[in-house]
Amino acid sequence: MFSLKGKSAIITGGGSGIGKAISMLFAEQGAHVHIVELNSESGKMVSDEIIAKGGMASVHSCDVSDQRKVVALFNSLGKVDILVNNAGIAHVGKVDNTSAEDFDRVYNVNVKGAYNCLFATIPLMKKNGGGAILNLASIAALVGLSDRFAYSMSKGAVYAMTLSVAKDYIADNIRCNSISPARVHTPFVDGFIAKNYPGKEEEMFEKLSKSQPIGRMAKPIEVATMALYLCSDEAGFLTGCDYPVDGGFMKLNT
């Protein structure tokens, strides 16, 4: 079950964190993984690890906010069976202390970047008779989180794009779903805490972990396994849905 043998999968931001876990798992299940990374060094490390384990992987340096470059890259790959829109950046701030520059930076990567990849992928999938698209949204798209104005805006847009794409291309055999993780323990989280809460790293890690009713952050592989299911043929009846991977955050918090 859940074989991706013979499939070509594009994973943006596939060189670290959740993206790395997805890249590794998809390759393990037989996909040729195309890792799209702004930082080609981190992408190459993952690609090398996949190849060393007998898998198939290629790394491509690309800024997802640049539509011309995204379209050229995706067209050069030819066949695209799976797209995972994972690339994204975070931001801390309320609306009145979020600068226009920071707002645009988050928008350009998280919203425009996802749009650019969808724009480039849909024609290829239509040509190939269908495909599976997975967008990484967030619980921030669905509930109010303190000091996450720009980030929440961007993930709300990702959630809305998921529904729109699923509706518009259902007759083309293109499925589109999203995952909304709560906090996931990645190197990014450790760096984020160190940068924003210097001297209080342990305290903040504990606080953020316990904000999930299950009492801890998710592991990247736990998001990746949901991604595998949603992009596999076994999920062929699922489209236009968002799947929280949140340790009970949205339903069990009181």
Catalytic residues: 151
Burial 158-188 (b: 16+ CB within 10 A, else e): bbebbbebbeebeeeebbbbbbbbbbbbbee
Find out whether 46 and 24 touch, Cβ atoms under 8 Å: yes
CA 220 to each of CA 76, 197, 224, 226: distance values in angstroms, whole numbers, following the listed order: 29, 23, 6, 10
CA distance 245 to 227: 10
Give me the phi and psi of 66, to 5 degrees please: -100, 100
DSSP helix/strand/coil, 132 = strand
Count Cα neighbours of 125 within 13 Å in the Cβ-side half-sphere.
Answer: 26
CA distance 28 to 154: 31
